[in-house]
Amino acid sequence: MQKKRGTLNAEVGPGFVLHEHFAKHHHFDLRLEHDGVLKSWAVPKGLPAKSGERRLAIAVEDHALEYIGFEGTIPKGEYGAGEVRIRDTGTFVPLVWEADRIEVVLQGKEFMGNINLIRFKKSGENGWLIVKSRQ
């Protein structure tokens, strides 16, 4: 069963969603609207809650904008099989968007404030760090 929630609102700002993904390995997926798609990262331990905390994030394939409201079950045998739930959703303010560094201010229901995504080449081609920074 699939439910759609949330909408993108260009008047307010680009959208984001934090999916909780109960797949083979439980993790979270952070998705940020950018250039007509949702740029996406798998975050095994979830977003950092305190200033200075860091979390590993692995860049995954872009998702269609419609996926921002997806909740439901991805069937067995398909990529990402398992239950997907929306943990938080909202908009964000982009401060910096470069190839190796992204800085945004999240404006969600649960997650608010500045986060930085920094490419972390030591963990592989798709490795990033998410750091909660002071506001």
Q: Give mean pLDDT in consecutive 10-residue pieces for the chain, a chain of 135 residues.
A: 42 89 95 97 94 94 95 93 97 96 96 95 90 84
d(CA 106, CA 115): 7
Range of the domain at 98: 2-132
Residues whose CB is less than 8 angstroms from the CB of residue 126 and which lie 6 or more positions away in sequence, other chains included:
58, 59, 60
Report the alpha-carbon angle 29-123-38, nearest 5: 30
What pLDDT score does 2 carry?
37
Q: How many domains does the chain have?
A: 1
What pLDDT score does 11 carry?
55
Residue with tokens 């972390």: 120
What pLDDT score does 123 carry?
81
d(CA 72, CA 75): 10
